[in-house]
Chains A and B, each alone.
Chain A
Amino acid sequence: MPVGGRLMALYELLLQPFAEFAFMRRALVASLALAFGCGPVGVLLVLRRMSLVGDAMSHAILPGAAVGFLMAGLSLGWMSVGGLLAGLAVALGSGLLSRATVLPEDASFAAFYAVALAAGVLLVSWKGSNVDLMHVLFGSVLAVDDDALLLIAAVATLTLLLGAAIYRPLVTECFDPGFLRQVGGRGGFYHMAFMALVVLNLVAAFQALGTLMAVGLMMLPAVSARLWATRLWSLMALSVAFGIAAGYGGLVLSFHVDVPSGPAIVLAAGALYVSSLLLGREGLLRRHLARFRHLEA
């Protein structure tokens, strides 16, 4: 094949879907914005050993979104506000319960989210069709409209700005909560601000990926990044980069192979995770090789 032909094939494979179709461009922009917000948030969740809490939170959004759905159908505003309120209530409630009872925070989250997921599915099925239910559970990144795009972009912007503003107390609370408490830093406050960011990002991701897939774009890039980077800033940067790669790769895959885009994006992130697991600096292969080589001091 001549060079021109090869370039043409490459163009058709990688760029044409976005050049030709507006809905693909929109989906791409949505994925990129999500990667910027979810990347750093996911890293902090991993470092706080709260990876599964992110999962639980993403389900906790469902009943709120479902109530919004009952009030106004598949409306962006109502479902987002409902999801936001439900997510914040679960975050606050689990935190308060774990302080007031013997249950650790993750136990409260697990209890909350099982109830929330069941209630949400029930509510949506009650008034909606199976298509609606599929939409709520798995999203449809290809159907993201201007309003949803604005919401996602606004959340990403807020996450980066607020995250930068409270970076020091947030990281300190993560790393050495006892010290922060002793010097009079209000760790609990920053923890709650962070949980609010988690909920916001999940609500944003919910628009594109649905309640079951949203957490994939938050946790998989962050977990993968942990296998490569050893500094906090590089972890976050890498997590964003992995999120972008997964969004782009997943969309290209879903376009050419004709599979649902949400799961394709999450699976692309999963592929990055498996590669990182094998090849990463802290991954299996390197660890294995490192046994035979070491520095003198």
Chain B
Amino acid sequence: MTKILYSDDLTACFSAWRKEGTKVLGPVQQAKTSGFGEVQDAKELDLDLVLTDRTLKELFFPRTEPMLSYSIGKQQIDTSEFLPSEHPCIIFGARPCDAAGMAIDDELFNWDYRDEYWFRRRDRSVIMTIACKESDDFCMCTSLGLAPDSAKGSDILLRPLTSGKGWQVEELTPKGSKALLPIASLLKEGTEEAAPTAEVPVLFDLEACTTWLANPENFESHFWKEISERCIGCGTCTYLCPTCHCFDIQDEGDTYEGIRRKNWDSCSFQLFTMHTSGHNPRNTQSARWRQRIMHKFNYFSDKFSVHSCTGCGRCTRECPVDMGVRETLQAISTLPK
């Protein structure tokens, strides 16, 4: 016997949560792209998508956010902080690869110094993931040791029923269980079977890759230039990656008042590491591509014991010139160590 949530009851669940003062967000079509938006009725959701175009990370790390405002006088400076509200919210229907990305970034945003902007949003949110029945040509979660029904980063895992009428409900964290209390009466006990999860073929040998990347001799390999020859150095892969977290800090305003913002940035951009002196440690696109791969599959894992990638495939799916980490890792796994 497992807890079952029927899709017919979903809108009622949303109402129950909203009555408690909790916002509900889910995957929606937003004028030509899909992302996460606030919903009131279940029919606003698009749960048939293999994966939303935009990632879950935007809910915790917006593409631009005001951090501080400043107001300068001769004798003093007044600042106020734009700390995110603690208004609770439930994210219904994220994919396991997206949720895993959030858990990965938790480690970074808490590395000795805690980023309150990230954690206030994380702490107030409950993530309910739906296991994937389908995948597309770009999915590669299994290559990263994850799966279409991975639990990482999720509070509640919903497994679609074979009947298509709803989901089995699997409680993963105390936070998740607590979130089910307001809808307890809407959950049924049942024995309905869950549909099999998507078959996602493993596309490369991750361990072979990490061994190659960890070898200092390969840092200077000609491979980097060859594999990144067509990269045009935009920020698409970075911005649509659930784990990429690099940012810029920019002041907008004048000498008297303004706002200090945290904005997305990308190591693919030419100016990312440019010194004021004019020296740029990563002056070629191949050096920048190498940084991207090394950071995700060597440096990050070196510090946090997990790679900075969940195999969601967006980098390849969205890249204007069909790059993405997949081709690089497939190529590396065939190279001699």
Tell me, yes or no, whether A binds B: no
- Chain B residues close to A by CB (< 8 Å): none
